[in-house]
A and B are shown apart, each in its own frame.
Chain A
């Protein structure tokens, strides 16, 4: 269909300006809801990274000294494997430890540079048969005193608590965000209905002289798209400001053994931003499409 872009841009801009107050309301509602979605996603990604070592039922990790003899390392391993209270053991050699370290600190290359595989401790990741606190504690104490072992790290209550709190909060945040998104859709829909009403005479003339439905629709859809997209961009901006605050307020590398640092990878964030942009653009366009269809098909 022949449509000059010039026309669509001009009409869209006129509409937005004419209904500036309610347009701002639409945009802000999208911003708030998408910010919430973003925070929830960031929190989840962060917690996942921070507790990466503690996935799949690993309850404690036996770190062996980097300079321990291979006899000592094997002795710890076979003892663990022979232990009836241990269900599964995974050995992480120094190279694997280094890979994990590099991944955790992917965003701090200078930190990775200071480390080489030979200074990192190899470790055994242990899944016990029972997660009962007392029996795990007993196992931990038993292996702490094995020759060659430098430390046994437990999946502490802190980690469990962080996971629980994070699940709870992200669940709620996503729920509230969903409600706000619905509100945003309704506000955009109303905004577009208002824009259509303001221009009903123009639309009447357009239909009379044979403008296609698509032609009538496009400026309104573009208006919805702009509202959703601007809302999403503001949300992304807010998240960028919020990100360092978030990172600083959470456990730091002091507890390196328990956590990896609570950071966000650039790749994860990029996907989050793309998701938010897509959702914003999508709901804006969809709400506008509904409003126009109601009007044109009535």
Chain B
């Protein structure tokens, strides 16, 4: 599903955020990316959805050579990838349902699909009764659920999550992790960058640890460190 071959990313100013990384992530895997601040976790994730291009090396995502993808093809890659962020990235002027519907609307999904999919996904994330609320009327955990709903409503092959629990208290974080686990069970590959030790330690999934851009550990059923 995801394959990296000797991938390096050097930002301008000679910052090497990822150095000679090679690995495979299979369909349906759940992978934690861990490492100190600045070790290259976000860079790794941004390379996968083509927000960045690799300086050297090749990346395949869902069968496509991401680095070689022409600009006009990038949107189609991203329709296969859901993204969740620490800061939710919800649109404050839209209701919960509208935020989710927006992501289908702008990729041209027919209205009939939107009408059935949006309530279903909100039910799945446990927000069926809050569809008409605005983001600022929700708790952080609820907002992150909306963001997960938006990322998953198009049934992507891959879900990328960059510190999705970074702004949440431990109890709320557990709720979000349950949700990501459920999504993973449907066959969706999940890659999640995190600093949250207890989550990694309790879930015992594959752990990839980065340090100054190097992969220093790749462990199945791993722990935080």
Contacts and interface: CB of A to CB of B under 8 A. Distances in A.
Given A209-B150, A211-B75, A213-B75, A204 B89 contact: yes
Contacts of A213: 71-72, 75
A245 interface: no
Interface stretch (A2-10, A24-32, A53-61, A161-169): A2-10
A158 interface: no
A205 interface: yes
A215 B106 contact: yes
A241 interface: no
- Which of B49, B106, B154 lies at the interface centre, i.e. has the most chain A CB atoms within 10 A of its CB? B106
B71 A215 contact: no
B105 A7 contact: yes
B102 interface: yes
A3 B89 CA distance: 24
A205 B89 contact: yes
Contacts of A206: 106
B117 to A, nearest CB: 13
A3 B110 CA distance: 9
B76 A201 contact: no
A249 interface: no
B138 to A, nearest CB: 17
A99 interface: no
Interface stretch (B11-19, B24-32, B77-85, B203-211): B77-85
Nearest to A214: B72
Nearest to A206: B106
A3 B107 CA distance: 8
A210 interface: yes
Given A209-B150, A211-B107, A215-B106, A201 B89 contact: yes
A285 to B, nearest CB: 20
Contacts, number: 56
A25 B89 CA distance: 33
Contact of B102 (A2, A3, A205): A205
A205 B150 CA distance: 10
B133 interface: no
Interface in B142-192: 150, 154
Contact of A208 (B72, B78, B105, B108): B78
A202 B102 CA distance: 9
- Give the interface SS of chain A, mostly helix, strand, loop or mixed: helix
Contacts of A210: 74-79, 81, 107
A84 to B, nearest CB: 75
A211 B89 contact: no
A114 interface: no
B91 interface: yes
Interface string A1-23: 11110010000000000000000
B103 interface: yes
B106 A4 contact: no
Contacts of A1: 108
A215 B72 CA distance: 12
Nearest to A201: B91
Interface string A213-228: 1011000000000000
Contacts of A209: 78-79, 83, 103, 106-107, 150, 154
A240 to B, nearest CB: 41
Contacts of A7: 105-106
Contact of B91 (A3, A205, A211): A205
- Which of A3, A206, A208, A209 lies at the interface centre, i.e. has the most chain B CB atoms within 10 A of its CB? A209
Interface string B112-144: 000000000000000000000000000000000
Interface string B50-94: 000000000000000000000110111111010100000101000
A70 interface: no
Contacts of A212: 72, 75, 107
A234 to B, nearest CB: 31
Nearest to B106: A211
B42 to A, nearest CB: 14
Contact of B108 (A202, A204, A215): A215
Interface of B: 49, 71-72, 74-79, 81, 83, 89, 91, 102-103, 105-111, 150, 154
3 closest residue pairs by CB, A with B: A2-B108, A210-B78, A210-B79
Interface of A: 1-4, 7, 201-202, 204-213, 215-216
5 contacts: A2-B108, A7-B105, A205-B106, A209-B78, A211-B75
Given A202-B102, A209-B78, A215-B106, 12 more contacts: A4-B108, A205-B103, A205-B106, A208-B89, A209-B83, A209-B150, A210-B74, A210-B79, A211-B107, A212-B107, A213-B71, A213-B72
